[in-house]
Chains A and B, each alone.
Chain A
């Protein structure tokens, strides 16, 4: 009976999980859609100017920047992950987690710090000049260029690749590597012919995070005077006062990123990467001796210094110069606000990620579209999302104004638009991808056999989720939580645009100082952001270690 069939079909497809996913996705997609729709508006004169003078240059620079950063982060992240996962050398236990720490320093803070250090009055030139009378060529020593941006992005984003790839080497590829060792392969050969091909999805996952971060960055590129699509969006907005064209550019940027997603999916199609054994045995590291032993330590230490220790020490020195004038009781409120908003947003992101992640395990086209849709926010510059969110909330407020009057809120019909709700929504939309990708990777790693077994044995989707799936991916959820939390603490453009009156976060405070060219003063809020991120990363590592035991 066809009617009954349809009902059964609907009943099967439309369970609570799917309904919630759809509702949530709609809420997330609405502001992004508002941005995207601008592609269909008629282009204006500015758009012609943009096409004529800017687009080509901007596309080329964007391409170079992402390509070079992508390649270098892959190289650095994968080789360090390999070194730490497969070998034993002095300091290894420390570097294993310390190499994640560069994530604690937002690239824009790193850019301010390093370019000031390398400037004419910075510590490096000052020492060269005053101690040894050396006047280096300014063209070579300044960082404000493509070269500088690539260096900064590489040094401070490589941990994304490192973190994911290392976990993969340590847990998933152990049996393959051990087998290859037994069969007499040399380490280099194992790396190139076994580990690298196997870890492709992990590497791709890490690099895609790096690429999205670079594509939507405004802080570093603007500071170094690069012309990327993201800076073009802002130049169109600020220089030409043309938000419509800016949104059109953002929509194109979004298309490029979705294209990248599809490409990645295409490259990985027909491959399942879940592990074959039920309990993967961790890899036993091999002890290094002689020269390689010390070289490994030195390499790790120098990279760690450049990407964490040196900028941190420099910021501390500047903080000591400005502490008396800058440090005020206000900072406590910036701190608590930053933490509160970030924690709340992250909770929402993780809960929703789990729901969509569970739905997406069927890997149907529907669920794929759903998962890509909700993570699209990561590719759009924060300020553009902010405009989408702002428009949406203002419309909501207008729609709800009679309700407000009904329940006795006098005055203007603005309630939602003036509260942290708007900011939290912006964060959720922008950083859904960070949380969701972690959950999704977790699900992918576990595979489907346990939940399928559970479903075959008669458990419902909900029961299966709480009894089987969740315990298996708990680790991924926690690391997703922490990564997202850190990202939000560092976030700048959304906070600048969507926060209510007298609501400063540490990032907005840093921005205020830096935009006034008060780099030394910016060091104190910067250090607080780094402190929060550091603690989070430390907890992540601690949990990871206790899980291993």
Chain B
């Protein structure tokens, strides 16, 4: 074999490998520093895998760093992907905190055994029991209600009563909802499985799908727009989207927000379905104390005020101020179920949706 034949391609490979390594060591050094830093200089950090990334969250982290000197590092992503990443990383993970926007997913994270219990009096004071995991493997940071919104022109609130009533003949061809791929819908159906059993839930899904005004499409805001456009009269929506519509920079969106009403269903019976966004400390966290401090901060009054004001979610901390808009919708009774059940029934809910043709 002649040297040159071997040499040229090998050289290029080595060069590229070198280039790669260069990019690697840079980062490696950085990581190494943070690791070494923990031991020697005690530079305080907390690493988050987050599926909840609103601009207000960034502001909160900055505020946290200012108050405590603990630096916050973030990887954003889809919750399910982050869970899979945490599962595969196991002990090697650098993540300390996992954040997401659905109780079902939080429970799945717990089931995947990537979280650990925390005990903190502050957290227990800040967050009511119902909005925490039974072992405090996850803690609620804010709640959102999945309500019925209706056209103020064509529907009177008196005509509305329960989720179950949406399957009655009166609503034939008048209901709007986003596709079954949305976690919000899966969790809603999971709550019915928990409350009424799988048969009733399937019956409901069947009747609900039969009353749809169109094949499910778009996101939550699109359902509101479709109401105003006259495609249907009522829709299932999360409350904070109504807040976001009414505070949009786009005047047309504001008009849409103003033309729809918010109705909290099932007040006489099981209560309105709520979901939770929350955080859990990872099982192999290397900065557990800092992670707990961050949860304490996020559930504290100051942070809770900000979340509600900027994002129109409901606070978990009872001491937080409620903005006018949220007050105007009135107080309401919520579903009293263990939110962890949302995740347990998720697969069954999805099967029902597939079976009953909820696209």
Contacts and interface: CB of A to CB of B under 8 A. Distances in A.
A59 to B, nearest CB: 15
Contacts of B84: 237, 243, 387
Interface string A506-537: 00100010001100110000000000000000
A144 B24 contact: no
Interface string A403-424: 0000001111111111111001
B12 interface: yes
Contacts of B252: 120-122, 126
Q: Is the interface of B mostly helix, strand, loop or mixed?
A: helix
A20 B250 CA distance: 57
A348 interface: yes
A20 B10 contact: yes
Contacts of A17: 5, 9
Given A224-B217, A394-B88, A460 B2 contact: yes
B179 interface: yes
Contacts of B216: 225
Which of A24, A46, A415, A508 has the most C-beta atoms of chain B within 10 angstroms of its own C-beta? A415
Given A120-B228, A516-B53, A497 B81 contact: yes
A94 B47 CA distance: 50
B35 A517 contact: no
> Quick one: which of A225, A237, A424, A465 has the most chain B CB within 10 A?
A225
A415 B31 contact: yes
Given A53-B354, A502-B73, A119 B225 contact: yes
A501 B13 contact: no
A293 to B, nearest CB: 41
Contact of A119 (B39, B222, B354): B222
A239 interface: yes
B92 A397 contact: yes
B95 to A, nearest CB: 8
Given A142-B217, A351-B12, A394-B92, A501 B23 contact: no
Contacts of B241: 517
B35 A231 contact: no
Contacts of A119: 218, 222, 225
Contacts of B74: 501-502
Interface in B52-98: 53-55, 73-81, 83-85, 88-94
Nearest to A49: B351
B181 interface: yes
B23 A54 contact: no
A418 to B, nearest CB: 5
Contacts of B219: 517
B16 interface: yes
A462 interface: yes
Contacts of A351: 12-13, 16
24 contacts: A16-B9, A53-B351, A119-B222, A120-B229, A120-B252, A121-B252, A121-B255, A138-B229, A144-B218, A144-B222, A344-B20, A348-B20, A387-B84, A394-B90, A411-B39, A413-B92, A421-B24, A462-B4, A462-B8, A466-B8, A497-B77, A502-B74, A517-B221, A520-B250
Given A16-B7, A54-B354, 15 more contacts: A16-B1, A120-B228, A120-B229, A122-B252, A225-B215, A240-B350, A409-B28, A409-B35, A413-B92, A414-B31, A414-B92, A503-B75, A508-B76, A520-B249, A521-B55
Interface of B: 1-2, 4-10, 12-13, 16, 19-20, 23-24, 26-28, 31-32, 35-36, 38-39, 47, 53-55, 73-81, 83-85, 88-94, 108, 112, 178-179, 181, 183, 186, 214-222, 225-226, 228-231, 241, 244, 249-250, 252-253, 255-256, 286, 346-347, 350-351, 354-355, 359
Interface of A: 11, 14-17, 19-20, 23-24, 46, 49, 53-54, 115, 119-122, 125-126, 135, 138-139, 142, 144-145, 222, 224-225, 227, 231, 235, 237-241, 243, 321-322, 325, 340, 344, 347-348, 351-352, 355, 383, 386-387, 390-391, 394, 397-398, 409-421, 424, 460-463, 465-466, 496-497, 499-504, 508, 512, 516-517, 520-521
